[in-house]
Amino acid sequence: MRSTGFRRTLIALSTFSLALTACGGSDDGSAGGKTRITVNCMPPKSAKVDRRFFEEDIASFEKQNPDIDVVAHDAFPCQDPKTFDAKLAGGQMENVFYTYFTDAGHVVDINQAADLTPYIKELKSYSTLQKQLRDIYTVDGKIYGIPRTGYSMGLIYNRKLFERAGLDPDQPPATWEEVRADAKRIAKLGGGTVGYADYSAQNQGGWHFTAELYSQGGDVVSADGKKATIDTPEARAVLRNLHDMRWVDDSMGSKQLLVINDAQQLMGSGKLGMYLAAPDNIPILVKEKGGNYKDLAIAPMPGGKGTLIGGDGYMFQKKDTPAQIRAGLKWLDHMFLTPGEGFLGDYVRAKKRHAPVGLPEPRLFTGAADAKDQQVKKANANVPVGNYQTFLDGNHKLRMKIEPPHAQQIYSVLDGAVSAVLTKKDADVDQLLKEASGKIDSILARG
């Protein structure tokens, strides 16, 4: 499941399909003696700051590389699951195309990805990227894609409500028992205040169930991807905790079947104590939901045993020429993968234009590259970075796990279990997990 910050889900122009037809990625890559590449996930004109950043970076890239012509396309979302496979099969995918982490194996399985292995030395930044992110796009020892961003789930919380409830905002809950206790105290503030909120519809309940299960040390499917592993004590602990917060403590409010926008609205209005999300939710809460940076903080995933990671990257169309692959790798280095520079990393430019600087993620690099990126970010921070310190200190120590195979189908099944415990006081947790396990086994058996 994608995270929800603008730079992972970019809103598109309605003219996308026309542009794609006119400028598809299936030509031979030559245009007026130049190597021509099409790329996607360009911000729309309505997102003025990000659109300007993107256009400026393409212009500077073309100035430095006069033999390369970059044609950018908008898309909403950057990858639409409903049309993704059809575009691949029809040869209409851009030369360099956006993917979620969970897409990598599938694109390779259907034989629609270019093998980047012979060219990877030309990507200057490759060795500086976190290995666990690089490995997502490595299949059978071959490299088929390049990570662009990465995120991990944590606990976003309202410092002001913590203080009002007599809790220390600098000591957020580290276990699910502490989450439950703190949520109960916050809910007792009254006035419609909710201690803890969780999603339970539109596959988002299954997504969060997975994150919470990882935090307990469990898994959704077996290591070989063939069997469900949710009929377990860890999974029962997840559902029983949600059930008890909802029905015993009354700390989750009476309105259920929530999705991410509902939780964001509650948090932005100052009526929610805690919910699970990635750091990129924070600017959304401020810019779109009425929140204040000083009140919003993020802590590591409770439980201490794991966290769900996600993110995105770019893969290359199988029909790309060697020249297009080389050009695309140069473009990725320029746009996204140079510490302190480019669309995601030019913190000096972002600060001048009042974009948020100082959030703890995405954190793409390692070693000296990471140190440089963090140094430039810290020097230009315009948000209260102290509110994110516990997340920075703790989340990277957790076991990092990506989403399961066939994630959306599995999440749809798990939605039913989560929604049941939040809407039915007498829900049978054991039976719910047994039934969900059988359905997931069927999904995995179909491949």
pLDDT tens-place string over residues 228-239 = 999 999 999 999
In contact, 16 and 78? CB cutoff 8 Å? no
3-state secondary structure of 93: coil
| pLDDT recorded at residue 28 | 58
Distance CA 250, CA 184 (A): 7
Q: Confidence band (pLDDT; 50, 70, 90) for 108?
A: very high
Q: Which two tokens stand for residue 230?
A: 């949710």
Residue 204: name the closest of 119, 281, 110 by CA.
Answer: 281
Residue 129 is given by DSSP the state B
Q: Confidence band (pLDDT; 50, 70, 90) for 45?
A: confident
Q: Could you write out the DSSP letters of every residue in 403-437?
A: PPTTHHHHHHHHHHHHHHHHH-TT--HHHHHHHHH
Inter-CA distances, 287 with 78, 290, 291, Å:
21, 7, 7
| pLDDT recorded at residue 49 | 87
Q: Confidence band (pLDDT; 50, 70, 90) for 13?
A: very low
| pLDDT recorded at residue 82 | 79
Token pair 């234009």 in the structure block, residue: 353
pLDDT at 315 over 70: yes
Residue 45: name the closest of 69, 76, 18 by CA.
Answer: 76
Distance CA 77, CA 87 (A): 14
Dihedral over Cα of 353, 44, 308, 312: its sign: negative
154-308+401-446, which class in CATH? alpha beta
Q: Domain limits of the chain?
A: 16-150+310-379, 154-308+401-446
Domains 16-150+310-379 and 154-308+401-446 belong to one CATH topology: yes
| pLDDT recorded at residue 76 | 64
In contact, 245 and 180? CB cutoff 8 Å? yes
pLDDT at 298 over 80: yes
Q: What is the mean predicted confidence (pLDDT) over 145-150?
A: 96
> At residue 69, what are phi and psi to the nearest 5 degrees?
-115, 120
Show contacts of 178-182: CB within 8 Å, 24+ apart: 178/302, 179/155, 179/274, 179/302, 180/241, 180/244, 180/245, 180/249, 180/251, 182/273, 182/274
pLDDT at 58 over 80: yes
| pLDDT recorded at residue 376 | 96
Q: Confidence band (pLDDT; 50, 70, 90) for 30?
A: low
pLDDT at 332 over 60: yes
CB crowding 34-45: b at 16 or more within 10 Å, else e: bbbbbbbbbbbe
Distance CA 317, CA 113 (A): 5
Distance CA 336, CA 54 (A): 10
| pLDDT recorded at residue 91 | 87
| pLDDT recorded at residue 422 | 98
| pLDDT recorded at residue 166 | 98
CATH superfamily entry for domain 16-150+310-379: Periplasmic binding protein-like II (3.40.190.10)
Kindly report the average pLDDT of the chain as a whole number.
91
Dihedral over Cα of 292, 249, 239, 255: its sign: negative
